[in-house]
Structure 1
């Protein structure tokens, strides 16, 4: 009887999820040994040893067959196909009752009816369950969508600061916590007008902050587990190429606007050729230009102009060409079609001026002293405060007041050249005496200090200590690309110059063609 009960228990537990055959077999052997010992101590066991052996052997074989059957059922259930498993889950549940055959012969307190639970596929609880993780993520997403944070956008105005912006939303404590992050949030401390800052609030608490540091860069501060973290999100621009050409009949800016160019692209064009052409003095009617440049897009909308890729400017019949090129050292600049840098050692004009109020003249009548005194430079009239740029790389050898010059800066460019800038309103902080400056670096601002009748820059150019006319002096050429770079340069720029040739020819053809007269 007890062997029969144990066999039934073996079958019942074999279908449980955590059933392990080897474990239960060891338990069976221990139970069998105890039953054998109990049986031998009875009178029947002592007097019927052969029958006992037959009974034990038969019972053991029966239980072994039951174990094999349950093991087969176990392994078959593990390999159930998903579709079959789903079908089983949808079938009506039927309760099976296993009656023990030997229960009537010898009732025992341990004998019972075993109600088998509905068959379920075996699940390995130790294996990972991606479906459960996905469900959890979906729950988090659904919860966030059900309660999205409120977005508050502020456009920074003059006079705004972080304190006023955060206080208006009741976020004083959050501001203090964010500022404790130090260097990563330095850009947040340097906000300026027209920037946008986005506050994301959930249940009146700040969960996210975004500062638009540029068109495609955002400083993002996110709250997680009661602490804030900082990251920068950078979006790539969609670059699109565009071409334009025009003939100058009045001014470069008006011709550029007729061609659909922005002021930024027109200025970029003037800067590229500014070492060779004085756009205030040298422009002639009939001059032409053709350019190929990039435009930057985000989300299908143009947000800003890109760089000029290749350009040609025809001034007084002479052609100047330039292409944007990045050399093998990853240095990008503009070069002529012969590989010479467009960036010369000296700027032709060191200030953005409105007009030339006085030219280089050895016999000029001084407007204040009313005497003949040589004017050894050029006066560029410009509004007070207009930035003045260093004409070339060099060292500041003088900064201070100089008699009738007023506030003056003198820069030495190597052993041969020097430039002088006078009548300044004030100096730039970086242009200290003895400091090294780079071409184009701001060294001061236009004023009328000293003997001056109005705000302007007095500019002198000296070669070996001798004054030369800044408007006509021949400036030294830039060094060309090294011979080892020229093969790469020609290969990389050939396509751009071919496109420029096609554009220039189209411009010339349109200028040469005459409109046909219609006949009635």
Structure 2
């Protein structure tokens, strides 16, 4: 009789052989994946399965006519037909509708530069036409049977407060262009500080400005509606600040931090930007008369057609031709001040004697009529009928903030003052 442990050992060996033999087919499969089997081996392990499979039916090809998109900008003098031609629209019915229909009048009134988009079929028939009209409304015109459907939706309007800083290297306009400021914001900047800074003579290289302004957007595009809320100008080491405050139910104005009006009763210059070609003098050699005589005004050289603005609220006393002035406009202000604008090429439409004009209102255009050797504006400033140097005379201030509004003014401008200070400190840090 074998010992128990011997029997147990024999049983384990037998079990190992059974397991080894039973795993041979599996080992063959693993080997088949590991190396390329020989033909005989492959025949032994190859198994064939057959089954009927139901395949989804292939979708029928959908034939669609190609469509084309075109975009064009309205050009000066464009007609509807010419615009459609450039966009490859050959559709008599669409052309007739767009030229005549009252519903499509906003298309015919689009200003140059506006974009128009069309979608056309392969045969150049109109499938859709869209544009943003002059008022910012989105208009879409599509065929509807033998007619056309016009759908108009109001544009998306929004306001954003933007900040910008700049530094003078040559002229104010060069600096505002470099800062990417809109022209109307640059003009506001000049008007706000125009009573304290003569932008023809007082600018210095290195002068700096900071601006917070509110910009209106329509359908994501900036409009011409922008207004400065706060501004700072450092001119030759002197810091000037201005804040917008609505001091009446009809609107507001710009005031210094202590509530004094930034708007002088008179602008320093009747032209936004130009150069002084001849100053105020008691003895100047006249380039046309070829003799010495007094020059009781200031000449501003500018291209013919440059807009001339009234330097203050006033009443027109003279408009027409007068001696050496050529075409001239004369205004009276507050009973004791008069201004003269000579050598004009023409007058603003509708201007007439007795008409009231506002400060900054366009009254004429630069020319060279009368005794003028080149295009320029001759400007005179009179006090009690006596000519004074417009570049040096002390200009009267505008109306300050009233005592009743002082608290509201300080509260409204407190945050604007803080943001201007932040801009200034940020600019200094960048320079450092």
The within-5 A match list for 1:420-439 is: 420-439=340-359
| Alignment-derived partner of residue 416 in structure 1 | 336
**Mapped pair 1:156 → 2:71:** no
Q: Which residue of 1 aligns with 2:109?
A: 190
Which string of whole-angstrom CA distances, capped at 9 and with x for unpartnered residues, describes residues 246-269 of structure 1?
A: 4x45444555566x4436354442
Structure of larger gyration radius: 1
Matched-pair contact (CA < 8 Å) for 1:409–1:421: yes
Give the SS at the match of 2:299.
strand
Return the alpha-carbon distance in structure 1 between the equivalents of residues 137 and 160 of structure 2: 16
Q: Partner of 1:165 in structure 2?
A: 83
Alignment of 1:184-263 (within 5 A): 187-200=106-119, 209-213=129-133, 216-220=136-140, 226=147, 228-229=149-150, 231-237=152-158, 239=160, 241-244=162-165, 246=167, 248=168, 250-253=170-173, 255-256=175-176, 260-262=179-181
Corresponding residue number in structure 1 for 2:283? 363
- Residue 494 of structure 1 aligns to a residue whose secondary structure is helix
The number of aligned residues is 364
> Which consecutive unaligned segments of at least 5 residues does structure 1 have?
1-145, 514-520
TM-score (norm: length of structure 2): 0.72
CA contact (8 A) 2:139 2:150 kept: no
Superposed, which structure 2 residues align to 1:456-475 within 5 Å? 456-475=376-395
C-alpha displacement at 1:457, in angstroms? 0.3
The answer to which of 448-457 and 167-176 deviates more is 167-176
Distance 2:113 2:191 in 1: 27
**Two-structure CA RMSD over aligned residues (Å):** 3.5
Which protein, 1 or 2, shows the higher relative CO under an 8 Å CA cutoff with sep ≥ 6? 2
Tell me the SS of whatever aligns to 1:488. helix
The reply to whether residue 312 of structure 1 matches residue 217 of structure 2 is: no
CA 1:197–1:487 in 2, change beyond 3 Å: closer, same or farther? same
The SS at the match of 1:423 is strand
Residue by residue, what CA displacement relative to the aligned partner does 1:422-449 show, whole Å, maximum 9, x if unpaired?
1111222132333332222222111111
Higher helix share: 1
**Preserved CA contact (<8 Å) 2:314 2:356:** yes
1:53 is matched with which residue?
none
Q: 1:389 to 1:257 in 2, by over 3 A?
A: closer
Q: Within 5 A, what are the aligned runs for 1:83-482?
A: 151-166=69-84, 169-171=89-91, 173-174=93-94, 177=97, 182=102, 187-200=106-119, 209-213=129-133, 216-220=136-140, 226=147, 228-229=149-150, 231-237=152-158, 239=160, 241-244=162-165, 246=167, 248=168, 250-253=170-173, 255-256=175-176, 260-262=179-181, 264=183, 265-294=185-214, 306-327=226-247, 329=249, 331-482=251-402
DSSP-derived class of the 2:292 partner: coil
Partners of 2:295 and 2:84 in 1: how far apart? Answer: 58
> How far did residue 365 of structure 1 move?
2.2
TM-score by length of 1: 0.61
